[in-house]
Amino acid sequence: MSAESEGLTGQQCDERCKEFASITGTDTALAMFYLQDRNWNLERSLDAFFESGTGDSAPPIPSVNQSAVSAEGASDTAKNHNHGHDERGMKRSAAVAMPEEGEPDTDNKRIRLMSWNIDGLDEKNLETRTDAVIDTILRESPDIVFLQEVIDQTQTQIRERCSNYAMVSAYDPNAGMVDQYFVCIMMKKSTVKCKKGNIDLIEFPNSVMSRNLLKVKAKVKGVEFTLMTSHLESTKDYRNARVAQLQMAFKEMREAPDDDTVVFGGDLNLRDKEVPDIPDGIVDLWVNTGSRPEAKYTWDMTRNINLPQMQRFKPRLRFDRLYMRPAKQKRAVKPVYFELIGLEKIHKCGRFPSDHWGLMVHFDNLV
């Protein structure tokens, strides 16, 4: 029996998740795993949790401001920055709406970053699924959002509702591609400051899928960041290209200003064996925050029904990842928690927002 067949609304499901998380001392991501498997029966889900012994070692949950953000207001106007290139790869302009002054954020000790492949290439329920992504962004109110597999239609939809965010986009209106998809970085206007000259779009010279690395230098609640997202080359056949692209991104991380905290991630399409050694000074944020098993698999065909279901083999992979290089002189942030988002089916269509789960990392602001 689904939540829909029980007559539960999305709000009621959210309330049960919060109640489960409050009782168990975990989070809503883990709550969804238990509740969805038990027809949203709270008592049965709690029994299963405590019988499993998980409660004995559950990590503490950081205090996070969950207040909703108004989505009313006009969308931002796209602007461009100057062109250039160097030996790292070709650079071209990225469409950007610069941050304006917004409402002050009262939670200065917490910085949150979200990353999500929102599956814009799947036309089925696209508007409804994108609305669910937007609802999640507005509800969770992260300071930074990395998005992958955005298309022109979904970019417009996001801009219109997320007027409290500035969006830097790798969309190229001159590409002439009917099915163009791209990456974006969203910055909350009230907490993130970014100058137009601090944006680069670096093309991967070995890509046959128009993949690139979008890089933004910004100040988030007083902390200097270099923020980078990408959608690395897909499928097993392009392993070598993907690994080379990852090494390019790591090089950019290492060469960022010493005073910057550097975060890179997105849908990296990585298999574990493709990342045998992470360069010194760079950490995998899922590993660094405790390698919680319930937050491991971001492309999980045992749970996500958006793609046609395979009868025998249902892969579970950690395609989506986030890496950090701390500021070299003085540590400015401390990663404290890592979770998955987008785990709840949409009541209207019975599907998930994407075939990927999204990522959310919480930092303590030490500045």
Closest CA to 320 of 353, 279, 361: 361
Active site residue 258: no
| 8 A C-beta contact, residue 143 and residue 223 | no
- Beta strand 199-203 with 212-220: parallel, antiparallel or unpaired? antiparallel
Residues 227, 242: Cα–Cα separation, whole Å: 20
| 8 A C-beta contact, residue 198 and residue 216 | yes
Residue of 131, 267, 300, 320 marked catalytic: 267
Residues 103, 59: Cα–Cα separation, whole Å: 32
Rounded to 5 degrees, φ, ψ at 182 are -160, 175
Q: Mark out the alpha helices in the chain (DSSP H runs).
A: 10-24, 28-37, 42-51, 126-140, 152-161, 239-255, 285-288
Residues 49, 33: Cα–Cα separation, whole Å: 10
Residues 346, 353: Cα–Cα separation, whole Å: 7
Residues 57, 24: Cα–Cα separation, whole Å: 11
DSSP 293: G
Q: Which residues have a catalytic role annotated?
A: 267
